[in-house]
Amino acid sequence: MAVELSPKMQAFTQEVFPAIIGTNRKDGSVELVPVWFEQKDGSFWINGGTNRGWFKHLERDPRITLLLIDPKEMFRWAQVEGRMVNWAEDTGGDHINELSHRYLKKDYQGPRTGRIKIQIEPLRVTGAIDGWR
């Protein structure tokens, strides 16, 4: 069951820094990958391709962990344990372009075809954000 993010956590997720996602490989080991993300409407959203290893892991096992670390203060962080609840084709690359504007303040320079938008439902949130613990 999804958890509601506290106001401090919601504010933290609006800051711009990458997330490190952890997915479970078949052999039980964890793959860690940096990604752009956004949080809105109570869900986390990432973008990728169906050919990515981490996405294949999510298809088999929808559990995912996002580690969010403030690059200016590493002890200001959050760990979001969640699960992929939905994914859809990013038709025209609109979502990756939105993320590019969030992170780079310009249009996405890579290919906009073959991309997917992934919705992650937060199930547990831990960390230390300005005394938010």
Q: Which domains does the chain have, with CATH numbers?
A: 7-68+89-128 (2.30.110.10)
Computed over every residue of the chain, the mean pLDDT equals: 94
pTM: 0.93
pLDDT string in tens for the chain (133-residue length): 889 999 999 999 999 999 999 999 999 999 999 999 999 999 999 999 999 999 999 999 999 999 999 999 999 999 999 999 999 999 999 999 999 999 999 999 988 889 999 999 999 999 998 654 4
Percent of the chain clearing pLDDT 90 (strictly above):
91
Predicted confidence at residue 133, as pLDDT, reads 47
Sheet holding 43-49, edge to edge: 30-35, 19-24, 63-69, 77-89, 115-128, 43-49, 37-40
Q: Is 77 helix (H, G, I), strand (E, B) or coil?
A: strand
Q: First CA to last CA across the chain, in angstroms? A: 20
- pLDDT of 113 reads 87
pLDDT value, residue 129: 84
Q: Where are the alpha helices (DSSP H) in 29-117?
A: 53-60, 94-104
Contacts of 29 (CB under 8 A, 6+ apart): none
